[in-house]
């Protein structure tokens, strides 16, 4: 523990002080999922730091016998952090929500209304967490129950937040563990939210998925917003749409497949003949490309194929794969599209768990198509059709790292 942190711990002995290593900060930054705007990325960063540090502290101190579980799951956190600040942890029947903030001022504890007024999100305890990445520490400086926030908290109708003064929080977290064992009443009554019809949900998704530099949480009445977030499928759909639309909007260049029909390819894309002549491609990828070409043979007069090397980045050991796309004109303005991912370099098989996703960012409520590699797959593939002028995105994902290519037909 650093001298500064030791001094702070002595000064505030009832608070929980946790040290963050530079490596932990670096790994957390590299591991962040895709988000549609910078504030959400920062929200995810500070929540991830708080979550990992808190879970490690729980394990080291052995406060509870229950196994802590992230709620609803780790895979769902990105869809929450895109919209709302906070992370929930389930300890048996008890739910705890970490509310991290990075400001110097700890005179007020502010919690967004989603954690207080969505019935399925309500927790027993809410922990105020100050995160200081620059000095490599965080602290839990107090907590409040749901009943305290709901009944005594100051509600801000514009920001949709509940806030308590510092003096209204309980500083010593050990008191929380004792109260938990005693089974004290910790929750206030929350009004049920209305049920949205699929048509209502679709209208909200279209309205809220546009690219913005802020969360859409204040764009519609809370009853509709809370009902949308409460259902995992709709919340994930909103997250998917916002990220995909943001990627397309910020992309300097979309791959224009119609130009491929005139044998014009964007930088980085190569014909299959050129790929086959590349020395770094091994026998497995060569066979896969040859098989791909044979499938295209009946349409050789009209079908066009090209491939591109995809680098998954330093975090995954410079893992590379080959993305191959074929376009075949069909009836009227419709075209058939086939997408394949193959290994390259010294790899015979694709990394297990690698995902290939085809998304329609403007119309689909969830990914249209998805394929995942097993332990002995040397390629995975998707097939679908579209019309001239339509946009779609192809995403390759491995261990939380995604690389997307945006296309227009």
pLDDT, one tens digit per residue, over 323-356 is 999 898 887 778 889 999 988 766 778 888 889 9
In a domain? residue 191: no
Domain interval for residue 89: 3-182
φ, ψ dihedrals at 86, nearest 5°: 140, 155
Which of 12-16, 313-317, 336-340, 368-372 shows the lowest mean pLDDT across its residues? 313-317
| CB neighbour list of residue 233: distance below 8 Å, 6 or more residues apart | 365, 366
pLDDT of 31: 61
- My answer on whether 278 and 313 are in the same domain is yes
As a whole number of angstroms, the distance between CA 187 and CA 176 comes to 14
Q: Is the pLDDT of residue 314 over 50?
A: no
As a whole number of angstroms, the distance between CA 383 and CA 176 comes to 54
- My answer on whether 8 and 73 are in the same domain is yes
- My answer on whether 154 and 167 are in the same domain is yes
Which of 7-11, 118-122, 302-306 shows the lowest mean pLDDT across its residues? 7-11
Higher-confidence position of 123 and 308: 123
SS3 157: coil
As a whole number of angstroms, the distance between CA 226 and CA 194 comes to 9
- My answer on whether 290 and 373 are in the same domain is yes
**68: nearest Cα among 58, 83, 81, 80:** 58
**117: nearest Cα among 40, 36, 17, 224:** 224
pLDDT of 71: 97
Share of the chain above pLDDT 70, in %: 86
pLDDT category at 320 given cuts 50, 70, 90 is confident
Domain boundary among 125, 148, 182: 182
As a whole number of angstroms, the distance between CA 46 and CA 31 comes to 12
Domain boundary among 182, 207, 237: 182
- My answer on whether 236 and 336 are in the same domain is no
Between strands 255-256 and 401-408, the pairing is parallel
pLDDT of 296: 57
In a domain? residue 190: no
pLDDT of 194: 95
Q: Is the pLDDT of residue 243 over 60?
A: yes
In a domain? residue 187: no
**Rounded mean pLDDT of 190-208?**
95
Q: How many distinct structural domains can be found in the chain?
A: 3
Burial class (CB in 10 A: 0-12, 13-18, 19+), 260: buried
Between strands 304-311 and 334-343, the pairing is unpaired
- My answer on whether 383 and 299 are in the same domain is yes
Which of 264-268, 340-344, 358-362 shows the lowest mean pLDDT across its residues? 358-362
* Per-range mean pLDDT, top range of 168-172, 182-186, 297-301: 168-172
The per-residue pLDDT for range 115-155, each reduced to its tens digit, is 999 999 999 999 999 999 888 899 999 999 999 999 999 99
As a whole number of angstroms, the distance between CA 22 and CA 135 comes to 10
Q: Is the pLDDT of residue 363 over 50?
A: no
- My answer on whether 32 and 81 are in the same domain is yes
pLDDT category at 295 given cuts 50, 70, 90 is low
**Rounded mean pLDDT of 194-219?**
93
pLDDT of 366: 46
pLDDT category at 209 given cuts 50, 70, 90 is very high
Higher-confidence position of 71 and 367: 71
CATH number, domain with residue 51? 3.40.210
Rounded to the nearest integer, the mean pLDDT of the chain is 85
- My answer on whether 121 and 218 are in the same domain is no
Share of the chain above pLDDT 90, in %: 44
Look up tokens 């207080």; give the residue.
Answer: 116
As a whole number of angstroms, the distance between CA 384 and CA 338 comes to 7
What angle (nearest 5°) sits at the alpha carbon of residue 347, between those of residues 341 and 352?
60
CB 98 within 8 A of CB 47: yes
In a domain? residue 291: yes
In a domain? residue 50: yes
CB 118 within 8 A of CB 229: yes
Q: Is the pLDDT of residue 399 over 80?
A: no
Query: Hey, what are 39's tokens?
Result: 């504030």
In a domain? residue 234: yes
- My answer on whether 206 and 307 are in the same domain is no
What is the rounded (10 degree) CA torsion for 271, 273, 279, 280? Answer: 40
Q: What is the 3-state secondary structure (H, E, C) of 59-120?
A: HHHCCCCCCCEEECCHHHHHHHHCCCCCEEEEECCEEEEEEEECCCCCCEEEEECHHHHCHH
**Rounded mean pLDDT of 201-222?**
93
- My answer on whether 90 and 150 are in the same domain is yes
pLDDT of 401: 73
Q: Is the pLDDT of residue 394 over 80?
A: yes
Q: How crowded is the C-beta side of 133, counted as CA atoms within 13 Å?
A: 18
Q: Is the pLDDT of residue 249 over 70?
A: no
- My answer on whether 14 and 57 are in the same domain is yes
In a domain? residue 188: no
pLDDT of 313: 57
The per-residue pLDDT for range 72-95, each reduced to its tens digit, is 999 999 999 999 999 999 999 999
| CB neighbour list of residue 33: distance below 8 Å, 6 or more residues apart | 44, 78, 400, 402
Q: Tell me the helices (H) and strands (E) count for the chain, helix number first.
A: 13, 18
pLDDT category at 167 given cuts 50, 70, 90 is very high
Domain boundary among 250, 268, 289: 250
In a domain? residue 192: no
Q: Is the pLDDT of residue 297 over 80?
A: no
Query: Hey, what are 79's tokens?
Result: 């869809």
pLDDT of 365: 42
Higher-confidence position of 236 and 251: 236
Order of strands, sheet of 380-387, starting from the edge strand that comes earlier in the sequence: 304-311, 320-329, 334-343, 380-387
- My answer on whether 232 and 327 are in the same domain is no
Radius of gyration of the chain (CA): 25
């Amino acid at each position: 523990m650093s001298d500064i942190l030791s001094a702070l711990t002595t000064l505030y002995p009832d608070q929980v002080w946790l040290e963050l290593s530079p490596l932990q900060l670096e790994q957390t930054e590299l591991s962040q999922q895709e988000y549609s705007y910078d504030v959400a990325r920062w929200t995810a960063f500070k929540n991830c730091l708080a979550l990992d540090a808190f879970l490690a502290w729980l394990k080291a101190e052995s406060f509870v016998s229950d196994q802590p579980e992230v709620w609803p799951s780790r895979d769902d956190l990105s869809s929450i952090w895109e919209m709302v600040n906070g992370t929930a942890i389930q300890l048996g029947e008890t739910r705890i929500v970490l509310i991290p903030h990075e400001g110097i001022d700890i005179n007020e504890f502010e919690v967004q209304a989603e954690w207080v007024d969505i019935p399925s999100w309500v927790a027993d305890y809410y922990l105020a967490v100050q995160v200081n990445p620059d000095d490599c520490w965080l602290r839990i400086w107090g907590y409040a129950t749901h009943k305290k926030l709901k009944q005594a908290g100051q509600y801000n109708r514009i920001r949709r937040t509940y806030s308590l003064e510092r003096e209204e929080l309980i500083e010593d977290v050990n008191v929380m563990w004792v109260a938990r064992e005693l089974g004290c009443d910790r929750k206030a009554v929350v009004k049920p939210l209305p049920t949205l019809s699929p048509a209502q949900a679709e209208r909200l998704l279209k309205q809220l998925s546009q690219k913005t530099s802020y969360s859409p949480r204040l764009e519609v009445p809370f009853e509709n917003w809370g009902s949308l977030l409460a259902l995992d499928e709709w919340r994930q759909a909103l997250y998917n749409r916002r990220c995909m639309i943001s990627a397309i909007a910020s992309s300097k260049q979309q791959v224009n497949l119609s130009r491929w029909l005139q044998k014009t390819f964007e930088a980085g894309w190569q014909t299959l003949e050129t790929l086959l002549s590349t020395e770094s491609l091994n026998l497995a990828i060569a066979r896969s490309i040859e098989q791909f070409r044979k499938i295209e043979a009946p349409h050789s007069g009209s079908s066009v194929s090209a491939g591109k090397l995809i680098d998954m980045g330093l975090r995954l050991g410079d893992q590379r794969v080959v993305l191959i796309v074929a376009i075949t004109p069909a009836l009227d303005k419709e075209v058939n599209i086939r997408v394949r991912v193959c290994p390259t370099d010294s790899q015979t098989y694709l990394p297990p768990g690698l995902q290939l996703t085809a998304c329609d960012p403007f119309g689909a409520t969830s990914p249209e198509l998805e394929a995942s590699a097993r332990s002995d797959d040397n390629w995975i593939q998707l097939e679908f059709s579209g019309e001239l002028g339509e946009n779609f995105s192809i995403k390759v994902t491995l261990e939380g790292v995604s690389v997307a290519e945006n296309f227009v037909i």
